[in-house]
Chain A
Amino acid sequence: MTLKSLLGLSLCLILLPNTVLSFGMGGPGTCGTLCLAEMRSYCPTCYTQQVQAMTGQGMYFTGTVPWANASPWWWQTGGMNYSNFYQPSPWSYTPRYSGVMGNFYPGSGGMFGAKPNLYIEGTANTDVSVRVILKEEGSNWLASVPAHGALGWKGKLDNRNFLKTDRGDYRFIYYDFRMFGKQFQDQEGFCTQKENVIPRIAQTMNEAGFNGVEIADFLEYWSVKFPNSENYCVYPQDNRQLDTVLRLEITPKPASVQRLLFMVQVQDRLVKNGKKFTAPPKKEWHPMPSRALASDRNSAELKIREWGIGFFGALR
């Protein structure tokens, strides 16, 4: 077991039920999703300030006004500002219909791939290009950092495995998409209670070969952003299913590609009506061995790892 995977496991172990974690992976001074989630104590109307002013009629006004001397820097964003900060997206909690409110997004697919993070590991100074091909009819892009455009991402790996592009340096590539997921599987996976779902996914990522930093990226964001539910069923999709929806076109040809998207279903959609993803999976899911590819001579032993979390659109 590597040091990085030990880090990942230790992060899982400290993830206690209903506890907001107090670590972040960005380094000193960084405030990410988890950090912002902790900053919810500022109350603009809880403070008063003495003011003295002259009215239009030349009369003095002395009194208090309900705002603080100095607003904290985070008040315009995070949980203090956004009503759905603690959800993955605009989310409908209508019983038996709950899910992502798809009317806020382009497209019509019933599944949302949220925050796939793609990591590239290889020899420094390797020129790399990655392009995502949406294969499923009707599927569409939602977001990406850096911008994907029509041609994809291009850059040079540095010795930290950052992708250096002409528009910034990236520790990982991020994107969201909308799809139908017709080839996705719902037979294997696991169901668990609210307090266990995040550690269980992190544990599965560890078993699948993701390192501690990559698992910490998952924990940092998703320990804040999961929708409320007493129980969840999780259906992991790997290369076999994901390649039917989004094919990765990578140059040079990588030595290995590990893809994993956890489709998450909330309790009140498990209505067992015979449709896919309405019943608990029948079997445990186990990661397949990292897929070794016949790589180019100049592959620089490129290794690709990608994880993501998926949710279902609200039924109307």
Chain B
Amino acid sequence: MKFLLFCPCAAMACLSLSVLALGANLSAENPVTPFKDNSVITGTLKAAPECTPQNTRMNTQVWLSVGQILIYQVEVPIDGNYEFHVRPGKYDLTAMNSIRCIAQTQVTVAPKQVAQIQLRLAQNASSKTEGKTK
């Protein structure tokens, strides 16, 4: 017997993202330093092949928010990087382009911490899954 199940978690599963490191450097050659007791969220934007637009002028919107309160909205090219200075706390980071590719994560940063995050855009598969019941 088939049933339709709405599962927001399924959408999350297709999002690929990794927290590479919590450290003090954006890169060894170009370190980034938080302002006083604050924090930094920095990293690069990557994309699966199907999420790389052919139009090189097409950038991805990257959103940093506290829940639904938007703190920063920026445009980042594929393979590009970003730097957000924030107060210590928990943040939502979302990247999205208009060919239905998205990446999402949450990150918590402590005072004086630099979180280095690689966002990887992937196709946002249907939020419905198909399953069977006994």
Asked if B108 lies at the interface with its beta carbon under 8 angstroms from chain A, I say no
Q: Please give the number of chain B residues whose Cβ is less than 8 angstroms from any Cβ of chain A in the complex.
A: 62
Asked if A95 lies at the interface with its beta carbon under 8 angstroms from chain B, I say no
Report chain B residues within 8 Å CB of A32.
59, 61, 75
Check B69–A51 contact: CB distance below 8 A. no
Determine which of A65, A73, A89 lies in contact with B124 in the assembled complex, contact meaning CB atoms within 8 Å: A73
Asked if A150 lies at the interface with its beta carbon under 8 angstroms from chain B, I say yes
Report chain A residues within 8 Å CB of B35.
106-107, 140-141
Given that A27-B55, A82-B70, A142-B85 are known contacts, is A168 also in contact with B27, CB under 8 Å in the complex? Answer: no
Interface of A is mostly: loop
Check B81–A90 contact: CB distance below 8 A. no
Check A51–B3 contact: CB distance below 8 A. yes
Interface string of A35-74 (1 = CB under 8 A from B): 1100000000000010111100000000001010011011
Given that A54-B133, A144-B82, A148-B83 are known contacts, is A174 also in contact with B68, CB under 8 Å in the complex? Answer: no
Check A27–B57 contact: CB distance below 8 A. yes
Asked if B73 lies at the interface with its beta carbon under 8 angstroms from chain A, I say yes
Report chain A residues within 8 Å CB of B42.
147
| Chain B nearest CB, measured from A165 CB (Å) | 8
Q: Please give the number of chain A residues whose Cβ is less than 8 angstroms from any Cβ of chain B in the complex.
A: 55
Task: Give Cα A176–Cα B36 distance, bound, in whole angstroms.
Answer: 17
Check B58–A29 contact: CB distance below 8 A. yes
Asked if B71 lies at the interface with its beta carbon under 8 angstroms from chain A, I say yes
Asked if A145 lies at the interface with its beta carbon under 8 angstroms from chain B, I say yes
Interface string of B100-111 (1 = CB under 8 A from A): 101010000000
Check B98–A73 contact: CB distance below 8 A. yes
Check B85–A141 contact: CB distance below 8 A. yes
Check B31–A149 contact: CB distance below 8 A. yes
Check B69–A90 contact: CB distance below 8 A. yes
Given that A143-B85, A167-B44 are known contacts, is A76 also in contact with B102, CB under 8 Å in the complex? Answer: yes
Check A167–B6 contact: CB distance below 8 A. no
Check B26–A147 contact: CB distance below 8 A. yes
Top 7 closest pairs, chain A to chain B, by CB? A168-B80, A149-B30, A106-B38, A31-B98, A147-B83, A82-B70, A140-B35
Interface residues of B (CB under 8 A from A): 1, 3-6, 26-27, 29-36, 38, 42, 44-45, 53, 55-59, 61-63, 65-66, 68-87, 94, 96-100, 102, 104, 124, 126-127, 133
> Can you give 8 contacting A-B residue pairs, CB < 8 Å?
A32-B59, A105-B86, A146-B83, A150-B30, A151-B29, A168-B79, A168-B81, A169-B80
